[in-house]
Chain A
Amino acid sequence: MLWFKAWLETRWRFAFIAGTMLFAWAAPLWAPLFHLRTPPGVSDSRLWMAVHLASIFLYIFAAIYLAGSGINSQTTYSATSGFHPSMLFTLSLPVSRRRLLFVRAGLGALQTGILVAIMAAYTVFQRPGGTTAPQFLVYLARAMVCTMVVYALSTLLACLLDEMWQFYSGFLCCIAAFVLQFRVSLVSWLSPLRGMSLISYPIGGPVPWAPVISSLLLTAGLMYASMLIVQRKEY
């Protein structure tokens, strides 16, 4: 039943992001209505890179938004309370906090994964010149793995902060990672954003194993830290 509850409390977030993606998908339908055309001199390839970058933004947005308020069941924007009062009911149930986090974070990760897969498919199959199935799978795996770092970071932040602050700080961390990758070579080498090919062409080249592996390790570390925080937190 925890899955049922997690679904009920996240379904509108999921629908919102899916709607946003559908809106992007439907661009060929609505773009002519606004007389949107490709500027002269811009190649299809550059245009596709813009679609790819917009997809990355959507992956990040989905990961931060769907991590929501962690095990806190409902949003609270109160300046004083750190959690919604219904949390007391949740915590009084005979369920370990680890399981609460596992279900809530698990469902959010699943939803994020589904949305990333849909958006990745759309992005890849828009690519001029076509894409092979293995190329798509590599692109998808990289997008998934690297998005999950953002998701795990957002989950950790949700364990520490109110949802509003979790949302802002999640984006701030991503912006910081983006800026630092141009200044600190180690960050550049390991950054999940590089794993998503934020600044390189994402299909056909060699797989950037360093950021992919660092993303996997970071995700595991962040989720483990979230679990420790939830287990030790006092409500």
Chain B
Amino acid sequence: MNQAAIETHGLSKSFGDIAALRGLELNVPRGSIYGFLGRNGAGKTTTIKLLLGMLRPDAGRFSLFGEAVDSEASSVAARRRIGFVSEGKELYNFMTVGQMIKFTRPFFPGWRRELEEKYLELFRLPRAKSLPKLSKGMCTQLMLLLAMARGAELLVMDEPTSGLDPAMTEDILQALADLAADEGVSVFFSSHQLAEVEQICDSVCILDEGQVVIDGVLDDLKSQYRRILAVFKSEPPDSLAALPGVDHLRQRGRTASLLAHMDVDAVVERIRELGAISVEVRPVTLKELFLDHVRGE
């Protein structure tokens, strides 16, 4: 029971000359809500498609709940434990809500009727309504219902709230958080909506150009990293960027903005020694962490 929900080692995938993933190393703890962040084209959807067997890796391996997924049979077995909400949120337009549920149910022996009823009521989804007549938000809700009621141990969400209004987004995030808390379901939440990730995720991973650039428990990351604003009498010295513990440096005039981790006090001390006339240390937000790491400044 201690195995990670998702574990990848050296996962790589290219499309022609474009490397979508380059040796991806992931460890998604079981029972966590794991935010998978990255810019468009960072490799988020490619990762999800690899996990679901829609793509095959060029190199590397991965396991779900400790079981290696390296063949079609193991992929089929893994998919019995996964609920998936795709970015496009498209289902079968020739079906009604009720038919969609009736179609999906037999694939999952652990289907939970009480959750089906609960979410039908919560999301106010009429069984008789045909899918083309549903709003995008209702389609998302139906996909969530289909993912949640199957008794999945892992929910894989690819931009689940894109295109939804704030109220609908809030309902969906709340439903996800409740499910994770009540049922112990692991959630792999791919998004570039940082506020949403910050709201519901306990762990995050930031992906950039197919590689993990930051990974960990969100609260730990926030406590490890600090924004240091230093003002100098003249141009900040070049050696600032080379200080141990400094991840990123931005300069504007006489002011330097540093993102630091590990022994921040020592970094502050060194900055003072380099001639800073004013040094301010602030906590960082997830947005700052994200921007500093994916911009590569």
Contacts and interface: CB of A to CB of B under 8 A. Distances in A.
Nearest to B49: A235
A90 to B, nearest CB: 8
Contact of A89 (B76, B80, B86, B108): B86
B92 A74 contact: yes
Nearest to A75: B93
B181 interface: no
Interface string A214-235: 0000000000000000010011
A21 B76 CA distance: 41
Contacts of A55: none
Contacts of B261: none
Interface in B79-137: 79-80, 82, 84, 86, 88-95, 99, 102-108
B54 A95 contact: no
Interface residues of B, number: 32
A97 B92 contact: no
A185 interface: no
A93 B79 contact: yes
Interface residues of A, number: 22
A88 B92 contact: no
Interface stretch (A3-11, A105-113, A124-132, A161-169): A3-11
A73 interface: yes
Contact of A96 (B49, B55, B76, B105): B76
B15 to A, nearest CB: 9
B23 interface: no
A96 B72 CA distance: 7
Contact of A91 (B52, B80, B88, B99): B52
Contact of B92 (A5, A95, A234, A235): A5
17 contacts: A1-B107, A4-B103, A8-B92, A8-B99, A9-B92, A73-B92, A74-B92, A85-B88, A88-B54, A88-B84, A89-B92, A91-B52, A92-B79, A93-B107, A97-B72, A234-B49, A234-B56
Given A94-B107, A234-B49, 20 more contacts: A1-B102, A5-B103, A9-B92, A9-B94, A86-B90, A86-B91, A86-B92, A88-B86, A88-B90, A89-B86, A89-B143, A91-B54, A92-B79, A92-B82, A93-B104, A94-B79, A95-B107, A96-B76, A234-B55, A235-B55
Interface of A: 1, 4-5, 8-9, 73-74, 84-86, 88-89, 91-97, 231, 234-235
